[in-house]
């Protein structure tokens, strides 16, 4: 059962940042691989993949959606959500805003509550009317949690929340936010021996999106 890695999103002053971990693979297989001898470690590449499988998707010029969980469910939800987003924009004759996309995703997940998608979600973006940054996390049933500071998903979310609480502060500028979110991800994920394969960092401002690659220890 292949699963996408952790995701962390933070708010700053007129900006937001989101980090998605590259490491994907079966948790059980990864734990088994981590306990094997060094001589056998060369055969674990198919079990713990560090390929750059994207789990943060663009749904608009100023709108991102991140997922953590089962890869096949991520692709299915992304496809269904994109269809509903396009239908919404055709009906309303305007670009969708983060709150409306949150409601679409929440309804989609709750519709499948008796056979839920095994994913968690983050919606991050800018409201085009108020120009305010927005982040919201959701569990597998679509329960939304709108945050004013940061949200985290995945196996390492406890570590991510703990480090972020120590490092985050209000009204961070874009460059400060980039430094804080990178430090939070590195400090938290490097505490887990199964993590550390690197991450993709995206800093979203109202007029631009900047993407960076953050290297991990890769051991």
Q: Tens of pLDDT along 117-131?
A: 999 999 999 988 888
Close Cβ partners of 14 (under 8 Å, ≥ 6 residues apart): 131, 133, 205, 206
Q: Which residues pair with 122 in a beta bridge?
A: 66, 137
Q: What was the pLDDT predicted at 46?
A: 38
Give backbone dihedrals phi and psi of 187, rounded to 5 degrees, phi first. -65, -40
Lowest mean pLDDT among 24-28, 58-62, 149-153, 190-194: 24-28
Q: What was the pLDDT predicted at 127?
A: 86
Long-range contacts of 186-189 (CB under 8 A, 24+ apart): 186/214, 186/216, 187/163, 188/8, 188/156, 188/159, 188/160, 188/162, 188/163, 188/164, 189/6, 189/21, 189/156, 189/159, 189/160, 189/216
Q: What was the pLDDT predicted at 4?
A: 64
Element (H, E) at 209: strand 208-214
The candidate with the shortest Cα–Cα distance to 106, out of 146, 140, 154, 82, is 140
Tokens 């305010």 identify what position? 132
Q: How large is the average pLDDT for residues 22-46?
A: 43
Query: Global pTM?
Result: 0.81
Q: Which residues pair with 137 in a beta bridge?
A: 122, 145
The candidate with the shortest Cα–Cα distance to 202, out of 218, 185, 216, is 185
Lowest mean pLDDT among 13-17, 25-29, 96-100: 25-29
Element (H, E) at 122: strand 119-126
To 5 degrees, how large is the angle CA 127–CA 201–CA 147?
45
Mapped onto helix, strand or coil, the DSSP state of residue 145 is strand
Q: What was the pLDDT predicted at 25?
A: 52
């Amino acid at each position: 059962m292949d699963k996408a890695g952790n995701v962390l999103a933070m708010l700053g002053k007129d900006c937001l940042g989101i980090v998605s971990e590259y490491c994907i693979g079966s948790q059980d297989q990864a734990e088994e691989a981590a306990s094997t001898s060094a001589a056998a470690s060369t055969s674990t590449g198919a079990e713990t993949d560090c390929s750059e499988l994207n789990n943060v998707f663009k749904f608009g010029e100023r709108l991102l959606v991140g997922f953590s969980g089962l890869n096949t469910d991520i692709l299915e939800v992304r496809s269904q959500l994109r269809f509903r987003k396009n239908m919404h924009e055709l009906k309303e004759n305007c670009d969708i805003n983060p709150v409306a996309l949150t409601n679409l995703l929440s309804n989609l997940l709750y519709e499948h509550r008796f056979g839920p998608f095994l994913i968690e979600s983050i919606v991050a973006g800018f409201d085009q009317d108020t120009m305010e940054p927005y982040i919201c996390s959701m569990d597998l049933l679509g329960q939304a949690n709108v945050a004013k500071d940061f949200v985290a998903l995945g196996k390492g979310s406890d570590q991510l929340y703990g480090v972020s609480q120590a490092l985050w502060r209000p009204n961070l500028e874009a460059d400060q936010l980039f430094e804080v979110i990178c430090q939070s991800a590195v400090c938290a994920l490097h505490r887990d021996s199964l993590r550390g394969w690197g991450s993709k960092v995206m800093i979203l401002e109202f007029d631009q999106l900047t993407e960076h690659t953050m290297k991990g220890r890769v051991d």
